[in-house]
Structure 1
């Protein structure tokens, strides 16, 4: 499975679990999930599974832009120039963001979004009023209509999180926007009942311990039951309904010329070139 979905690395253990259940008939139980996590962890320690293949981190840090010396700074600037990428959304008439309920899947979604210069976020922050206000502020600052593409579990908590976030952010935008053109629409990319049926995904009853289950009818399903390539395809379809592909292609055409101009303005630092040639200062 890791080889099959290599281009979507890192995967979460939950994604592996649902592929084993849906495609290979393994037991859909917390006991099997626990066993799988144990074996995956040991296989990573033994280097049988690359560490880069699995994402299970929960650590947050803030970066510091510090440099060893001026030459190190110039080297970093040169590298940035060589990897210059245009913001393909800058010329678009809309602002778009991707939000996902599972933090572990953000990197997968970001890989798709970055092809269009669209950022991906974890919507676990939707429980945070600060995060919702920050999203509304970004939308208002663009002066454009916005689309928030959301992916989450099909269960009472997932639906409630989506509904409440949409209501709060829309209210903030309406209160703070500079003109009537600025508005926000939340789009449910996944998971939906139609997708559960179409992809024959495994379901389970709603948790009785969840207070939101009271008005819920039917089964529930986790987003990670969808295969990584299915998620990528669904997300691409929704993005390309929103963006102007012709404008993006024009921006990409200009990108290479601008990259070359920047690299000419930022020559390789002498000390770096010397070290690469085996010389010393």
Structure 2
């Protein structure tokens, strides 16, 4: 009978699982990251299952609690014996500790930590009896109780009627969760209840875990949004089972692992390694030693283990890094990556040789600042291992990954390391054993993807983004220029002439093929004048004109107001965006088209009232010309008031685009035109950055 390879012993201090300080030491997370920790670990566990196709993550914030729910359709679900093993805090129920293989985590006690967090975060007088719920083969409410130096589980099986009520309750806020809990005996739902707290959002973690696992559809729902990250592939990732390659272990690792099993024979122990899975090879190795096949691996002394280790090394060749699974360029690009680098290699030390694969991908971002996402073995890392522990020296200065990407604005850089030999020396330090050997590959790959030049634009991706923009503002018509700046602001589109030309071509072809509504995009640069009336009879003409008179009837709404207000805008293309608001409040809208003509200034002053202050609300680009147009407009209007002998006060206020709006909405900069008015003074204040009014969200 095959021995149970999950019986690896690791005995933490039991009470660490139910105290905040202890949980911080075990998980390496501070309390406001505990929600992220729970979601990440439950996602990892769900992804490790067989035949998993759908996972639903739901965060429900109530007045007195925060509920975290994870549901999946993978196999196996949780049986009662599994639950009892998980809730035995005197042992680690996982086989992850000590085994060198590509796997999503190495803690081995993540679920125990999740139960502990749901207990420890509550004040003693407010803690519910049960802080967790599980639907597996049965349904249970679960709590914890401290008895002396031990932690005892409180497990309450639910009746069939209670099970239905709980399923309806947990599934109510996420349609995907509802689908997973109805009529599927293999589905698993795990819920933890935490007290109200300023927890960090796990949304970004869910997003990037979905990118790393494109074979699974992952949905996310909270009080603000419901998102679904659709599967891009039907093929699950394939990992090595068992213990992997003997060359991945130092002798110390090999010896520690052998002594971690109470009841495993040495023959079975050897057969769990790659190259020796056929028992004949394991028997051959043992026959060349004095070690009996039936001896327990945990009973062997150092000398016997050393001989066994060296003979296994002599028979086995090292594994090529090309066998390691990766997400791959195609999968990354299908999810929006605009640049991808893959490097493979082998970490060679005095006592082991370990392969690795390093993927670095750049994604467009609506943030004006670069972001680094750190991932290990198909899941995100909460411990910042690369930005904290990888650096080099250039010209006498320390250079980190953050230094390399600092100019990669509007980009998210995802770093994904795949290796079977990642040793987290201490999660609380966020440190990993062999990172120093990856310094050159990691920094080089990051530098490469951070330098985005010409991007190969995928037409379908661009059209998908355009549809989102049009749908969000379904009441508005757009120019191509407006769409372009929304793509720059929201999706990291490169702000270049070539990219604008490319977008124009994509939208022309899309409208010709009726892939998008042609009537939603207008061209205001080519006026059209229609002189042939459309009426066929006098009655039709009279009916239309009378209806127009009735619809247009209105009275002066500003005569009794203390101020007279007008809106002036630099660009005609954007006047349609602001016009509905101006119509609603009966405010005149004046399009400058750059610097106003004298005729426009003269006619404006003529219509200004002579008995009340005049207020001008101005909208224009934030660049040298835009600021100078505003300054000149105010000056010229005041001069014309004097010429016409009107001495009413005039106030002009810029309402868009302001530097506060640029910072608040993290708007993308445009190349500065250095032939503009007052360019030198502008550069002193704002450097070589300019921002166009078109980049501001119409909403």
Shared fold by TM > 0.5? yes
Which residue is 1:96 aligned to?
Answer: 565
Q: 1:78 to 1:127 in 2, by over 3 A?
A: closer
SS at match of 2:673: coil
Q: 1:138 to 1:193 in 2, by over 3 A?
A: same
Distance 1:145 1:78 in 2: 37
Q: Give per-residue Cα distances to partners, 1:35-78, cap 9 Å, x unaligned.
A: 11222233233333333322322244678898877645532342
Distance 1:63 1:26 in 2: 37
SS at match of 2:470: coil
Distance 1:61 1:17 in 2: 24
Say which one has the larger Rg. 2
Would you say 1:51 and 2:51 are equivalent positions? no
Choose the corresponding residue for 1:138, options 607, 614, 617: 607
Distance 1:147 1:65 in 2: 41
TM-score for both structures, normalised by structure 2: 0.30
Q: 1:64 to 1:147 in 2, by over 3 A?
A: farther
Would you say 1:223 and 2:693 are equivalent positions? yes
Distance 2:619 2:677 in 1: 22
Which residue is 1:207 aligned to?
Answer: 673
Distance 1:119 1:128 in 2: 18
Q: Contact 2:594–2:629 at 8 Å: present in 1 too?
A: no
For residue 134 of structure 1, report the CA deviation from its aligned partner.
Answer: 1.3
Q: 1:94 to 1:59 in 2, by over 3 A?
A: farther
For 1:114-263, list aligned pairs within 5 A. Answer: 114-124=583-593, 126-140=595-609, 143-178=611-646, 180=647, 182-217=648-683, 218=686, 219-229=689-699
Q: 1:91 to 1:24 in 2, by over 3 A?
A: same
Which residue is 2:579 aligned to?
Answer: 110
Distance 1:136 1:42 in 2: 46
SS at match of 1:147: strand
Q: Which has the higher strand share?
A: 2
Distance 2:532 2:561 in 1: 31
Q: Give per-residue Cα distances to partners, 1:16-45, cap 9 Å, x unaligned.
A: 122212221222222111111222233233
Q: Contact 1:95–1:144 at 8 Å: present in 2 too?
A: yes
Distance 2:608 2:622 in 1: 27
Distance 2:614 2:677 in 1: 32
Distance 1:137 1:183 in 2: 14
Choose the corresponding residue for 2:479, options 12, 31, 35: 12
Q: Contact 2:621–2:693 at 8 Å: present in 1 too?
A: yes
For residue 177 of structure 1, report the CA deviation from its aligned partner.
Answer: 4.4
Q: 1:25 to 1:97 in 2, by over 3 A?
A: same
Distance 1:94 1:25 in 2: 42
How many residue pairs match? The answer is 225
SS at match of 2:618: strand
Distance 2:650 2:564 in 1: 9
Answer with 217-226 or 93-102: which moved more.
93-102
Q: 1:144 to 1:72 in 2, by over 3 A?
A: farther
Distance 1:177 1:95 in 2: 18
Which residue is 1:78 aligned to?
Answer: 546
Stretches of structure 1 lacking an aligned partner (at least 5 in a row) = 230-281
Q: Which has the higher helix share?
A: 1
Q: Contact 1:20–1:26 at 8 Å: present in 2 too?
A: yes
For residue 103 of structure 1, report the CA deviation from its aligned partner.
Answer: 0.8
What RMSD, in angstroms, separates the aligned Cα atoms of the two structures? 2.6
Which residue is 2:291 aligned to?
Answer: none
Q: 1:77 to 1:48 in 2, by over 3 A?
A: same
